[in-house]
Structure 1
Amino acid sequence: MATKTNPFKFLEQVRSETSKVTWPTRRETMISTLMVFVMVVFAAAFFFIADQALGYAVGLIMNAGA
């Protein structure tokens, strides 16, 4: 079973660990955000086109017997 830690000691450890984190620069964050938006647009366009094509194909199949 884990031992209990003093809350102040815990906060001190958290601060120590946070200082070890390598934070991205503003430029890196902006580039990553832009890339996410670009990929979202590409994915949305791809799924829109795929949905339209499959809907058209299903429509042709369903109307073939008429």
Structure 2
Amino acid sequence: MARTNPIQFVQQVRSEISKVVWPSRREVVLTTVMVFIMTVVLSIFFFFVDLLIRSGVNGVLEYFGG
């Protein structure tokens, strides 16, 4: 594999970075808001799943534990 000198490497990196399509500010804000909303929804979901499992385990332990 041929080695490139540092100047060529920097030129290639700059060329590749210029091809990147950067998101707009609106897209970044929208995606961030969506992440926060999904985090809240999933935390509420897992809270209720945990509550259900905990109630089930407590019920089984009380039934068999006396």
- TM-score category (smaller protein): over 0.9
Q: Shift of the alpha carbon at 1:3?
A: 1.4
TM-score by length of 2: 0.93
Task: Measure, in 2, the Cα distance between the counterparts of 1:16 and 1:60.
Answer: 64
TM-score by length of 1: 0.93
Greater share of helix: 2
RMSD: 0.7
The runs of 5 or more residues in structure 2 that have no matched partner are: none
Give 1:43's aligned residue: 42
SS of the equivalent of 1:50 reads helix
The runs of 5 or more residues in structure 1 that have no matched partner are: none
Q: How many residues align?
A: 65
